[in-house]
Amino acid sequence: MLDSFDQYVVDRLDRLLRFATAMTCDPHLAQDVVQEVLLRAQRKWSHIGQLQARDSYVRRMIINEYLSWRRRRAARAVSHSTLDALGTPTADHATGYAERDAMRGRIATLPRKQRAALVLRYYEDRTDAEIADLLGCSAGTVRSHISRALSTLRAAHQHHVSEAYS
Protein backbone atom coordinates (compact mmCIF):
# COMPACT_ATOMS: atom_id res chain seq x y z
CA MET A 1 0.00 0.00 0.00
CA LEU A 2 1.64 3.22 -1.15
CA ASP A 3 1.28 6.38 0.86
CA SER A 4 0.26 9.61 -0.81
CA PHE A 5 3.78 10.82 -1.53
CA ASP A 6 4.89 7.49 -2.99
CA GLN A 7 1.81 7.42 -5.16
CA TYR A 8 2.46 10.94 -6.40
CA VAL A 9 6.06 10.06 -7.26
CA VAL A 10 5.11 6.84 -9.01
CA ASP A 11 2.52 8.71 -11.07
CA ARG A 12 4.55 11.79 -11.86
CA LEU A 13 8.26 11.06 -11.69
CA ASP A 14 8.78 10.29 -15.36
CA ARG A 15 6.92 13.40 -16.46
CA LEU A 16 8.88 15.54 -14.03
CA LEU A 17 12.16 14.12 -15.25
CA ARG A 18 11.27 14.71 -18.88
CA PHE A 19 10.18 18.24 -18.13
CA ALA A 20 13.36 18.98 -16.19
CA THR A 21 15.50 17.39 -18.88
CA ALA A 22 13.92 19.51 -21.60
CA MET A 23 14.51 22.59 -19.46
CA THR A 24 18.10 21.88 -18.43
CA CYS A 25 19.31 20.15 -21.63
CA ASP A 26 21.19 17.85 -19.25
CA PRO A 27 19.63 14.55 -18.10
CA HIS A 28 21.86 14.28 -15.07
CA LEU A 29 21.44 17.83 -13.91
CA ALA A 30 17.71 17.23 -14.37
CA GLN A 31 17.93 14.13 -12.21
CA ASP A 32 19.78 16.01 -9.49
CA VAL A 33 17.29 18.86 -9.60
CA VAL A 34 14.24 16.61 -9.48
CA GLN A 35 15.75 14.48 -6.75
CA GLU A 36 16.60 17.44 -4.56
CA VAL A 37 13.14 18.87 -4.99
CA LEU A 38 11.37 15.60 -4.24
CA LEU A 39 13.47 15.05 -1.14
CA ARG A 40 12.36 18.46 0.08
CA ALA A 41 8.77 17.86 -0.99
CA GLN A 42 8.80 14.54 0.90
CA ARG A 43 9.60 16.34 4.14
CA LYS A 44 6.84 18.88 3.55
CA TRP A 45 4.33 16.46 2.09
CA SER A 46 1.87 16.84 4.98
CA HIS A 47 1.44 20.37 3.64
CA ILE A 48 1.96 19.91 -0.12
CA GLY A 49 -0.14 16.75 -0.26
CA GLN A 50 -3.18 18.75 0.86
CA LEU A 51 -2.90 21.24 -1.97
CA GLN A 52 -5.27 21.18 -4.89
CA ALA A 53 -2.49 22.26 -7.23
CA ARG A 54 0.25 20.11 -5.77
CA ASP A 55 1.69 19.23 -9.16
CA SER A 56 2.06 22.92 -10.01
CA TYR A 57 3.63 23.45 -6.62
CA VAL A 58 6.23 20.76 -7.25
CA ARG A 59 6.91 22.06 -10.75
CA ARG A 60 7.43 25.53 -9.33
CA MET A 61 9.95 24.03 -6.92
CA ILE A 62 11.72 22.35 -9.81
CA ILE A 63 11.86 25.55 -11.85
CA ASN A 64 13.15 27.53 -8.88
CA GLU A 65 15.73 24.89 -8.10
CA TYR A 66 16.92 25.02 -11.68
CA LEU A 67 16.94 28.83 -11.82
CA SER A 68 19.03 29.07 -8.68
CA TRP A 69 21.17 25.96 -9.28
CA ARG A 70 24.72 27.12 -8.68
CA ARG A 71 24.04 30.35 -10.50
CA ARG A 72 27.65 31.32 -10.95
CA ARG A 73 28.83 27.84 -11.76
CA ALA A 74 26.20 27.38 -14.40
CA ALA A 75 27.46 30.28 -16.43
CA ARG A 76 30.88 28.71 -16.70
CA ALA A 77 29.71 25.14 -16.78
CA VAL A 78 27.95 25.67 -20.09
CA SER A 79 31.19 25.10 -21.90
CA HIS A 80 31.77 21.79 -20.11
CA SER A 81 28.69 19.89 -19.11
CA THR A 82 26.06 21.42 -21.32
CA LEU A 83 28.10 21.12 -24.45
CA ASP A 84 29.01 17.59 -23.48
CA ALA A 85 25.37 16.85 -23.01
CA LEU A 86 24.63 18.43 -26.33
CA GLY A 87 27.15 16.21 -27.96
CA THR A 88 24.81 13.23 -27.73
CA PRO A 89 22.44 13.51 -30.67
CA THR A 90 19.23 11.54 -30.63
CA ALA A 91 18.75 9.09 -33.44
CA ASP A 92 17.16 11.08 -36.18
CA HIS A 93 18.05 10.90 -39.80
CA ALA A 94 15.36 13.21 -41.01
CA THR A 95 16.36 16.16 -43.11
CA GLY A 96 17.00 19.27 -41.08
CA TYR A 97 18.96 17.46 -38.46
CA ALA A 98 21.77 19.99 -38.62
CA GLU A 99 19.22 22.75 -38.30
CA ARG A 100 17.75 21.18 -35.20
CA ASP A 101 21.14 20.53 -33.77
CA ALA A 102 22.10 24.18 -34.21
CA MET A 103 18.86 25.21 -32.57
CA ARG A 104 19.59 22.97 -29.62
CA GLY A 105 22.91 24.70 -29.12
CA ARG A 106 21.24 28.11 -29.28
CA ILE A 107 18.58 27.20 -26.76
CA ALA A 108 21.24 25.96 -24.36
CA THR A 109 22.82 29.40 -24.27
CA LEU A 110 19.62 31.34 -23.58
CA PRO A 111 19.17 32.90 -20.15
CA ARG A 112 17.57 30.36 -17.84
CA LYS A 113 14.31 32.22 -17.30
CA GLN A 114 13.80 32.51 -21.02
CA ARG A 115 14.55 28.84 -21.43
CA ALA A 116 12.11 27.90 -18.66
CA ALA A 117 9.42 30.03 -20.29
CA LEU A 118 10.05 28.39 -23.67
CA VAL A 119 9.82 24.89 -22.24
CA LEU A 120 6.53 25.71 -20.57
CA ARG A 121 5.19 27.17 -23.80
CA TYR A 122 6.55 24.75 -26.39
CA TYR A 123 6.96 21.52 -24.46
CA GLU A 124 4.13 21.78 -21.94
CA ASP A 125 1.83 23.95 -24.07
CA ARG A 126 0.97 26.19 -21.14
CA THR A 127 -0.85 29.50 -21.45
CA ASP A 128 0.82 32.81 -20.60
CA ALA A 129 -1.16 32.94 -17.36
CA GLU A 130 -0.08 29.44 -16.31
CA ILE A 131 3.54 30.19 -17.16
CA ALA A 132 3.36 33.42 -15.19
CA ASP A 133 2.06 31.51 -12.20
CA LEU A 134 4.82 28.89 -12.44
CA LEU A 135 7.59 31.41 -12.95
CA GLY A 136 6.23 33.78 -10.32
CA CYS A 137 5.99 36.79 -12.62
CA SER A 138 3.36 38.63 -14.64
CA ALA A 139 1.93 37.46 -17.96
CA GLY A 140 3.52 40.52 -19.54
CA THR A 141 6.93 39.42 -18.34
CA VAL A 142 6.29 35.93 -19.70
CA ARG A 143 5.47 37.37 -23.11
CA SER A 144 8.60 39.45 -23.04
CA HIS A 145 10.77 36.45 -22.04
CA ILE A 146 9.34 34.41 -24.88
CA SER A 147 9.52 37.11 -27.49
CA ARG A 148 13.10 37.95 -26.61
CA ALA A 149 14.06 34.28 -26.70
CA LEU A 150 12.32 33.85 -30.06
CA SER A 151 13.99 36.85 -31.62
CA THR A 152 17.40 35.62 -30.46
CA LEU A 153 16.70 32.17 -31.87
CA ARG A 154 15.22 33.49 -35.10
CA ALA A 155 18.18 35.73 -35.73
CA ALA A 156 20.54 32.85 -35.09
CA HIS A 157 18.47 30.55 -37.21
CA GLN A 158 18.48 32.98 -40.15
CA HIS A 159 22.20 33.32 -39.77
CA HIS A 160 22.62 29.55 -39.68
CA VAL A 161 20.43 29.03 -42.73
CA SER A 162 22.02 31.79 -44.80
CA GLU A 163 25.46 30.51 -43.91
CA ALA A 164 24.52 26.98 -44.86
CA TYR A 165 23.23 28.04 -48.26
CA SER A 166 25.63 30.80 -49.14
Partner 1 sequence: MTEDRTEQLIRDVFADQAARAVDGREVLDTLRGKPRRRYGLVLATAAVVVVIAAVATFVIPEVFRRSAPPAADQPQQNTVQPTSVLVGGLDAEGRTDTLALAQVHEDGAVSLVSLPRDSWVHLPEGPPLRISQVRKFFDTDKLLDVVRDLTGVQPEHYAFVDMAAFADLADAVGGVRVCLNAPAEDPYAGVDLPAGEQVVTGDAALGFVRQRHGLPNGDFDRVKRAQVFLQGVVAKLGDADLTELVDAVAGRLQTDPGLDLLGLAGQLAAAPSLHVGTIPITDGAHEVPGAGSVVAVDPAQVTEYVGGIKGTPPVDGVPCVN
Task: Confirm or reject binding of residue 139 to partner 1 (CB under 8 A).
Answer: no
Task: Confirm or reject binding of residue 142 to partner 1 (CB under 8 A).
Answer: no
| Cβ–Cβ under 8 Å, residues 59 and 19 | yes
Helix (H) or strand (E) holding 10: helix 4-24
Exactly one of 13, 51, 53, 164 binds partner 1 (CB under 8 A); that residue is 13
How many other C-beta atoms can be found within 10 angstroms of the C-beta atom of residue 33?
A: 24
Task: Confirm or reject binding of residue 46 to partner 1 (CB under 8 A).
Answer: no
Task: Confirm or reject binding of residue 49 to partner 1 (CB under 8 A).
Answer: no
Contacts for 93 with CB less than 8 Å, ≥ 6 apart: none
| Cβ–Cβ under 8 Å, residues 92 and 63 | no
Task: Confirm or reject binding of residue 83 to partner 1 (CB under 8 A).
Answer: no
Helix (H, G, I), strand (E, B) or coil at 161: helix
Residues lying near partner 1 in the complex (CB under 8 A) are found at 6, 9-10, 13-14, 17-22, 25, 27-28, 30-32, 34-40, 42, 65, 68-73, 76-77, 80-81, 88, 90, 92, 96, 99-100, 103-104, 107, 118-119, 122-123, 150, 153-154, 157
